[in-house]
Amino acid sequence: MSMYDIIKRLVEKCDAPEPTPEERAEREQREAEAAETRRLEQEARKRRARERGWSLASATHPSDRGQSHGKDHIVLEAPLKVGRLEREPGDALCKPGDRFWGLYGIEREEIKPSWTCKRCLKMFDRYKGHLEEN
């Protein structure tokens, strides 16, 4: 292919027709549906978290993940008071939420022992019977 042909093709690509109003409406419809699906998934996730009494959060901001090895923490959905242990909703099992720089909810709902804070895991085993919604 000559340089002329390559340039000609590039120019043709740039001249691709503008989407028609119908195409644009269709794309907006698809985007709105995808946003609605995400919203519903998020709500379902929150409901399940309330029912079982906990969710997972990372002390590492989502945008930092990949560069750091932040562990997941098990975060309470309801107050927990057993003996000397007292936690508020939003606290991690291992320590109160205000002792973290931040806790960021994550989408995964499954506890993976190798990714989870050891102390949270230990406390989860001990207190899981108290976590479920009454």
Residues that bind Zn ion (CB under 5 A): 73, 92, 94, 117, 120
Closer residue to Zn ion, CB minimum distance, 49 or 92: 92
Output the smallest distance, CB 119 to Zn ion, in A: 5
DSSP 3-state of 132: coil
C-beta of 49 vs 120, nearer to Zn ion: 120
User: What sign has the CA pseudo-torsion 55, 58, 59, 62?
Assistant: negative
SS3 at position 56: strand
Looking at the Cβ atoms of 34 and 82, the one nearer to Zn ion is: 82
Q: How far is the CB of 67 from Zn ion (least distance, A)?
A: 20
Q: Is the dihedral of CA 30, 35, 39, 41 positive or negative?
A: positive
